[in-house]
């Protein structure tokens, strides 16, 4: 605060920069909402106005009750939650092992995991399609969960590893001196301190799976198994794009992500481990 008081110009500059960034980042979201509540006949006539002259919730009503949107939504929720849970569980275990143990082949495994992240998805989409097809798992939501989980594990593992690295080893050793087995130390001491890391990983994987289009498009063709991003494309027909309904669906799709982050944000609060060691 002392700095802000002595240099008001600098403070104003900082806030101006922040405001500029926020506007830049949030404007598309605003536009999404604006088009969603603009009556169809005004979308093109009032195209660039910041606020439409009349408002409607018709688009939302149509999306919710006259399309398969709710089914897509449910499918996406199932796939995203499944992926987030499976990935986080595996990544937490792997991250803990990378952080705490030395074992043969550790460096090779880490290198291989990094390599998997190097290829553009387009390169491997055909082989993946072949594999899934020959397993007879096309048009199944489970296949999406498996594929998403496999793709997210490396990054999620590195994320979890860095969280475990941030928890002092002394804490586990102290717990073991206090009579814990390694697993008890993990459950009673390390796990509660990893909640922010688990929250961050869950959130990251959930969002990634929620908005994934490419694999869903390739592996799902039946209407009843479509996830939300694929379903969104059904608003694009041969002759027109139903902008209003598409945007309304987009707004609705933001809700789970927002709820999810509101739910986990208290675990993301930093400084939970402060006070553990030194001062």
Partner 1 sequence: MARIELKDVVKRYGSVEVLRDIDLDIEDGEFIVLVGPSGCGKSTLLRMIAGLEPITSGDFLIDGERMNDVRPRDRDIAMVFQSYALYPHMDVARNMGFSMEIRKDPSNERTSRVKQAAETLGLTSLTERLPKALSGGQRQRVAMGRAIIRDPRAFLFDEPLSNLDASLRVEMRLEIARLHQKLGATMIYVTHDQVEALTLADRIVVLNGGDIQQVGSPLDLYERPANKFVAQFIGSPTMNIIPVQGKSNGVKLADGALLELPHLFGTIDAVELGIRPEHIDVVEVGDLVGVADVVEHLGSDTNLYLQVEGLGPLMVREHGNIPVQPGDRVGLRIQSENVHLFGPDGNALRCHTNEAAA
Q: Does 278 bind partner 1 (CB under 8 A)?
A: yes
DSSP for residue 270: S
For residues 205 and 229, what is the distance between their CA atoms, to the nearest angstrom?
16
Segment interacting with partner 1 (CB under 8 A) among 57-65, 139-147, 186-194, 212-220: 186-194
Q: Does 275 bind partner 1 (CB under 8 A)?
A: yes
Contacts with partner 1 in 212-271 (CB under 8 A)?
A: 271
- Nearest distance from C-beta of residue 108 to partner 1, angstroms: 19
Q: Does 205 bind partner 1 (CB under 8 A)?
A: no
Task: Kindly report the backbone phi and psi dihedral angles of residue 110, in degrees, each rounded to the nearest multiple of 5, phi listed first.
Answer: -60, -40
- Nearest distance from C-beta of residue 263 to partner 1, angstroms: 20
Q: With b meaning 16 or more CB within 10 Å and e meaning fewer, what string describes 222-245?
A: eeebbbbbbbbebbeeeeeebbbb
- Nearest distance from C-beta of residue 58 to partner 1, angstroms: 50
Give the residue, chosen from 57, 177, 236, 255, that forms a contact with partner 1 under the rule CB under 8 A: 177
Q: Which residues pair with 79 in a beta bridge?
A: none
Count of residues binding partner 1 (CB under 8 A)?
26
Q: Does 168 bind partner 1 (CB under 8 A)?
A: yes
Which residue's CB is nearer to partner 1, number 199 or number 229?
199
- Nearest distance from C-beta of residue 182 to partner 1, angstroms: 9
Q: Which helix (H) or strand (E) holds 157?
A: helix 141-165
- Nearest distance from C-beta of residue 164 to partner 1, angstroms: 15
- Nearest distance from C-beta of residue 96 to partner 1, angstroms: 18
Q: How many CB atoms lie within 10 A of CB 71?
A: 15
Give the residue, chosen from 179, 238, 258, 270, that forms a contact with partner 1 under the rule CB under 8 A: 179
Find tokens 């074992």 and name the residue: 103
Query: Of the candidates 249, 154, 143, 264, which has an alpha carbon nearest to the alpha carbon of residue 206?
Result: 264
For residues 220 and 167, what is the distance between their CA atoms, to the nearest angstrom?
42
Q: Please say whether the beta carbons of 60 and 248 come within 8 A.
A: yes
Q: Does 99 bind partner 1 (CB under 8 A)?
A: no
- Nearest distance from C-beta of residue 200 to partner 1, angstroms: 17
Q: How many CB atoms lie within 10 A of CB 185?
A: 20
Contacts with partner 1 in 28-87 (CB under 8 A)?
A: none
Q: Please say whether the beta carbons of 217 and 9 come within 8 A.
A: no
Give the residue, chosen from 41, 181, 221, 265, that forms a contact with partner 1 under the rule CB under 8 A: 181
Q: Which residues pair with 236 in a beta bridge?
A: 241
Which residue's CB is nearer to partner 1, number 34 or number 100?
100
Give the residue, chosen from 85, 89, 128, 171, that forms a contact with partner 1 under the rule CB under 8 A: 171
Q: Does 272 bind partner 1 (CB under 8 A)?
A: yes
SS3 105: coil
User: Which residues, 6 or more positions from 182, have their beta carbon under 8 angstroms from its beta carbon?
Assistant: 172, 176
Contact residues: partner 1, CB under 8 A: 168, 170-171, 173-181, 184, 188-189, 192-193, 271-279
């Amino acid at each position: 605060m002392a700095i802000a008081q002595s240099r008001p110009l600098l403070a104003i500059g900082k806030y101006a920069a922040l405001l500029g960034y926020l506007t830049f980042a949030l404007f598309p979201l605003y536009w999404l909402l604006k088009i969603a509540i603009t009556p169809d006949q005004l979308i093109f006539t009032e195209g660039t106005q910041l606020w439409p002259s009349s408002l409607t919730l018709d688009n939302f009503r149509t999306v919710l009750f006259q399309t398969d949107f709710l089914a897509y939504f449910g499918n996406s929720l199932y796939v995203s939650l499944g992926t987030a849970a499976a990935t986080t569980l595996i990544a937490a275990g792997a991250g803990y092992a990378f952080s705490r143990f030395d074992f043969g082949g550790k460096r090779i495994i880490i290198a291989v995991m990094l390599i998997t992240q190097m290829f553009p998805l387009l390169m491997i989409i055909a082989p993946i399609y072949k594999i899934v097809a020959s397993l007879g798992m096309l048009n199944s939501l489970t296949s999406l969960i498996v594929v998403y989980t496999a793709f997210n594990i490396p990054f999620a593992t590195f994320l979890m590893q860095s969280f475990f690295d941030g928890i002092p080893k002394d804490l586990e050793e102290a717990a073991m001196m206090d009579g814990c087995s390694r697993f008890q130390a993990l459950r009673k001491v390390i796990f509660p301190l990893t909640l922010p890391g688990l929250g961050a990983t869950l959130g990251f994987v959930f969002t990634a799976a929620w908005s994934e289009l490419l694999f869903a498009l390739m592996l799902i063709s039946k209407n009843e198994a479509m996830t939300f991003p694929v379903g969104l494309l059904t608003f694009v027909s041969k002759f027109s794009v139903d902008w209003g309904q598409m945007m309304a669906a987009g707004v609705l799709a933001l809700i789970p992500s927002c709820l999810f982050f509101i739910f986990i944000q208290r675990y993301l609060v930093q400084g939970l481990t402060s006070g553990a060691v030194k001062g």
